Structure 1
Amino acid sequence: MGAGPMGESERGESAPRRRVSYWCANGHESRPSFAAEAELPESWDCPRCGLPAGQDQEKPPAVPRTEPYKSHLAYVKERRSESDGEAILTEALEKLRARREL
């Protein structure tokens, strides 16, 4: 047992492989290697820019739309109307005032 490199005779034979080209919207090409009998994925993340890449060079996948950061208040305003907010605030203030009177 040595620390030298192992040859194919010791590891066994490599499975047949195939390289497939994928292109992103920025025109980058990536060529991952797959087993010959493996099912190919429709898209592949570009290792250079991270965008999704497809096999059609002329029509790469569209750039995903990123949602801007929303605060907690923005999410609350989506779910509640202005009158709902006022009713909740009034109820909370009444509870606080009732506790102070004790």
Structure 2
Amino acid sequence: MASGSAIRGSRVGAGPMGEAERGDAAPRQRITFWCANGHETKPSFASDAAVPETWDCPRCGLPAGPDKDNPPAAPKIEPYKTHLAYVKERRSDADGEAILNEALAKLRDA
């Protein structure tokens, strides 16, 4: 014998919801974007919303633009720099030598 409720498998609020319950949907527009790999993406926007210049391609992650023949270029990725590389950008070898000699002099005096 089956036990349980006669409306088993349903929950409060379940069922088809139509436009009458949710209200009218905002007018939409579909804009086509293409990335440098030739992938096509068609996100939809509200008709009164500002459309962005670029859109990230969901397949490869590159930026996509509305012009199929002239898609945006891939961003240039800077390699990881160590702390020493940043220091060498700010200081010359002569500056580094002077700072080292000053630090060694303080250690010797202590």
TM-score, normalised with respect to structure 2: 0.85
Take 2:76 and 2:83, find their aligned partners in 1: how far apart are those partners?
21
Q: How many residues align?
A: 99
Q: Percent same amino acid among aligned pairs?
A: 71
What is the match of residue 73 of structure 1?
Answer: 84
2:58 maps to a residue whose letter is: P
Kindly report the root-mean-square deviation, in angstroms, between the aligned alpha carbons of the 2 structures.
Answer: 1.0
Q: Does 1:88 align with 2:99?
A: yes
Higher helix share: 1
Name the larger-Rg structure: 2
5+ residue gaps, structure 1, are: none
Q: Does 1:2 align with 2:10?
A: no
TM-score, normalised with respect to structure 1: 0.92
User: Displacement of 1:2 after TM fit?
Assistant: 3.1
What is the match of residue 75 of structure 2?
Answer: 64
What is the match of residue 34 of structure 2?
Answer: 23
What is the match of residue 34 of structure 1?
Answer: 45
5+ residue gaps, structure 2, are: 1-11
Runs of 4+ in 1 over 6 A off after TM superposition: none
- 1:33-61 superposed Cα distances (whole Å, 9 cap, x missing partner): 00011111110011111111000000000
Take 1:15 and 1:92, find their aligned partners in 2: how far apart are those partners?
68
What is the match of residue 63 of structure 2?
Answer: 52
